[in-house]
Structures are given as structure tokens and as C-alpha cells.
Structure 1
Amino acid sequence: SLFGDAFELPDCKMGLVLVILVTSAPWNAHQRSVIRDTWASPWGTTKYPWQVAFLIGRASDGRVPQEVLEEKESFEDIVLGNYVDTYRNLTLKVMHGLKWAAEHCRPQYILKTDDDCFVNTDRLPQFLVEHNTIRSGLYVGSLFAPNQRHVIREPLSKWYVSEEDFRPDFYPPYASGVGYILSLDTAQAMLQVAELVRPIPVEDAYVGILAEAAGIVVKSSGRFAKHNMNWRVCNYRYLMVIHHLDAGELRAANE
């Protein structure tokens, strides 16, 4: 089974406020190392404990590169899945990560993001504990406008979804995969309905479909930026997640 854990999973700290799931790939070791040196470096040293895990699958030949196994051993922050690491398998990757976080870690909240994003770990755990008023049923991020939710039927597109897999022409409201936050009960409800809802290869849209099936309403927040519009560093204090930063920008954002 895809979710049969073929690999040992990382341990979780007790009493976590937040688990940050970062989608990565076997060959993105440099991005992971920059993240460990920057926004993931104070790993839960704040009074609100949090933890980062990188989600990675197998290489295209079905094997796991030796250096990934060594990195996993050294840092104990890699959730290795039993799927080939391709864009079309991103949904499997994220569902595997959510299952690990919800069943093993049981944090109050889960943030899903990508390895080219900066997460404001200085502020986010504290914000969730002290300022967020929605403790349950939470699913929040940067929303796509209704006219951006067309289902792509072009077979050559990486976002192609057949009518057999998803019949409607528009996806329900959903948050960009750059960064969205789920409360634990939301993640649990999504995992439950996922057993009945056929997966599609558009991960963030699939999460929106699961939310709708579970009766959860997605909320919009300006604290998640879908694109790096050359945010000045002072703006980083307000934003919780920013997309498309290269290694140098990640370091600048962290200073």
C-alpha cells in the first residue's frame, strides 16, 4: 500500500502547537539544508513547540538515494513515502504527511508548505496560540478566485484531471498549496473522507474537495503570499508564508 510505512517515521515532540509539513524531493537537499539553517533552525525552542518534517518519495527508478537515507538518519526530519516522487504524486505525498502528523504527532495545527517557501516560525506558533480564535474546523490560506478554479482537461497539462476522476468543471473553494493551515480535527476529518473521495493529482484542489466533503469552509488570509512580489523584509514580519524564494532570499528573510 502507498501508505504502508515502508520506512521508519520521525518521532514527534510532545505537546506540539504546530507541525510544518514541507513538500520536497530527493534531489532538493540544498533547499532542505537552507531551511534547516534558516527558518527551521530554532526548531521549537520557543515556548510554543513546533516541528518541521520534509515529505519525500522514491526516485524515479523506485529506489531511495543513499544520501537521502543518510540525511534522514542524521536529521530525523524526513517523512519518506512509498511512492515515486513526481508532481502527479504530490497528492499522495501530502496525504501521507497529513496522516503521519495527525496520527503520530497530534499537534494543534498543521501547516503544509513547499521547500521554496519561507515560513515565519518566529511569529506563527505564537500567533496560532495567542491570536487565532478558530480552534476547530480551521482550514486557512491564500484562496484562488472562482475564475481560477477551472478543472484543466488538457491531457498534456501537469494539472490535467479527467472527468472520470472529477466530474464538475470547477473545483470548490481551496487554498493555494504554497501554504495552508489545518486544525487537527480538520486534518482528521479530511483523512476520513479521503477514503471515499477519489484522489486527483492537483494536491491543493484535492484538499479543497476533501474540505467540502467534510463540511469544512476554507477561510482566506492575507498572511499567505502566493508569489514573492519583492516583499520588503519588514513585511516578512506580517506574512506567515511566502512563496518562490531562492536560497539567498530565504536567508535574507530570516535575518
Structure 2
Amino acid sequence: MTTAAGSVSTAQYFVAYPHQYHFIVDQPNRCQQESPFLVLMVPVAPHNREARDIIRNTWGKETTVLGRVVSHYFLLGLSREGDGTELPEEQVLQESQRHQDILQSNFMDNYSNLTIKTMVMFEWLSSHCPNTTYAMKVDSDMFLNVHKLVDMLLKSPRHLYMTGMVARGAAVLRDRNSKWFLPVSAFPETSYPPYALGLGYVFSLDLPKKILQASFHVKAVYIEDVNLTYQ
């Protein structure tokens, strides 16, 4: 999209956050009741039941590791546009009733809204997991060594802590054909501050509230892992 003067419009590179999103499928009490040491949050498309089942049958099966409780949740948006008051699709609702691990919010689930998905994740963790020490956002196509992760976290700081594969000095892509293009008008610097790649990162549970507070003072860009450098 361009303006009449030919410059790139920035609107399409930002997402609607903060915003009053709500969950149409939720597990409102499970995290508080289980008080897990570690919560694994897996963003996944609503239609991708196969990925969810693979995780449930592999590393998602590990619920107690080195004496610590570990739980997982799948985070979904909507599969189609609507007015924000949609009921969940029957298949998703049945899956949720069976496995008790689905969280579905009322934003459109697509690549451009991954930042919204991430921020909604922070909202849910902040309000539902008061006794949890760590959480990890991990993509559904990753294979996670949960035993090694818990072993590492038992020796890690419990406050103001975040770790993952860190990108340092990453260039801001100005090629308009790139999937991750940002114009100068949206992000004037030529490189990003260090940030943890979105494929997977771990954080202590005091961080979600701080990140959410910071989000009220910045405009959220559509590149979800980069967006966390703003917070």
C-alpha cells in the first residue's frame, strides 16, 4: 500500500494491540490448580490438529520432569473473519473437551497477527498462572527436549529472566518482496536490538506483566519476535 505521494503507508505493518480480545475456548482454572513449574505455550493454526496430536503423543506427554510439574497449552485464533463474538468450531470444542489444553481467542489466526497471538499469550499467563515459575513459547514444528529444559531452569534465575536463540545485529529488511519487510517510516533504525527468535524462548513469569505494561506505550509491529524488542 502506498500514499498518493508514493511513500509506503505504515498502517499495514502494525497490528491491533492493545485491544480487548477474549477467549472463546479457555481453561480458566487448570493452571492455578496444577501450579506447574513450567508452562509450554504452543501457537498453532486452528486447522492443524495433526501438529497438536503429534505433540500430545511425544514431548507434550511429559507432565512431571525431575519432580517438577510441566503443562502445555495450544494457543489458537479464529479460522475465519467475524464480528468478534464467534462460538468455537465444533471440532475445536470437542478437542478441547477431550484434552483440556486448547486456548482460543477471538482474533484472526494468520501470519500477520502472530504478534497479537504472542501478546494474548502473555495476558493469559499473567492472569491464570500465579504459582508458575517459567513459561516457554515454542512453535508447533519444534521438537522439545523437556527433560533438558527443566534441568537447565532448575539452575536459572527466577526473576527478570528470558533466554532463547538470540539474534544480534539483525538487519531491518527494506526489500518490499521480503516476508519481513519494514519501511523506514515504521522502524527507522537499520538493525534490530538483540531479540530471541520466535521459534522458542523461555521467560520467568514476572515478565508477562511487565511486557504488557510496556505494550501500552509502543505501536506493535507484525513481526512478533522483533516486537518484543520494543517492550
TM exceeding 0.5: yes
Counterpart amino acid of residue 137 in structure 2: K
Distance 1:17 1:190 in 2: 20
Distance 1:203 1:86 in 2: 12
User: 1:3 and 1:122, CA in 2 relative to 1: closer, same or farther beyond 3 A?
Assistant: farther
Counterpart amino acid of residue 202 in structure 1: I
Provide the aligned C-alpha RMSD in A: 2.0
- Contact 2:40–2:137 under 8 Å retained in 1: yes
Deviation of residue 101 (structure 1)?
A: 1.1
| Structure 2 residue 197 is matched with structure 1 residue 151 | no
- Superimposed CA distance per residue, residues 198-239 of structure 1 (whole angstroms, 9 cap, x where no aligned partner): 1111111111221xxxxxxxxxxxxxxxxxxxxxxxxxxxxx
Q: With structure 1 as the length reference, what TM-score do the two structures score? A: 0.74
Relative contact order higher in (CA < 8 Å, ≥ 6 apart): 2
- Alignment gaps of 5+ in structure 1: 211-255
Percentage of matched positions with identical amino acids: 31
Counterpart amino acid of residue 7 in structure 1: I
Query: What is the count of residue pairs matched by the alignment?
Result: 206
Distance 2:177 2:91 in 1: 33
- Contact 1:171–1:209 under 8 Å retained in 2: no
- Alignment gaps of 5+ in structure 2: 1-17
- Contact 1:89–1:201 under 8 Å retained in 2: yes
The match for 1:9 is: 26
The match for 1:114 is: 139
Q: Which stretch shifts more, 27-36 or 66-75?
A: 66-75
| Structure 2 residue 72 is matched with structure 1 residue 52 | yes
Deviation of residue 50 (structure 1)?
A: 1.6
Distance 2:64 2:112 in 1: 32
Q: With structure 2 as the length reference, what TM-score do the two structures score? A: 0.81
Distance 2:149 2:171 in 1: 32
Q: 1:170 aligns with which of 160, 175, 191?
A: 191
User: 1:20 and 1:6, CA in 2 relative to 1: closer, same or farther beyond 3 A?
Assistant: closer
The match for 1:245 is: none
| Structure 2 residue 79 is matched with structure 1 residue 41 | no
Distance 1:198 1:162 in 2: 14
The match for 2:126 is: 102
Counterpart amino acid of residue 114 in structure 2: L
Deviation of residue 184 (structure 1)?
A: 1.3
User: Larger radius of gyration, structure 1 or 2?
Assistant: 2
| Structure 2 residue 152 is matched with structure 1 residue 135 | no
User: 1:156 and 1:82, CA in 2 relative to 1: closer, same or farther beyond 3 A?
Assistant: farther
The match for 1:80 is: 104
Deviation of residue 55 (structure 1)?
A: 1.0
Matches within 5 A, 1:158-197: 158-197=179-218
Distance 1:114 1:162 in 2: 27
The match for 1:32 is: 52
Deviation of residue 121 (structure 1)?
A: 1.5
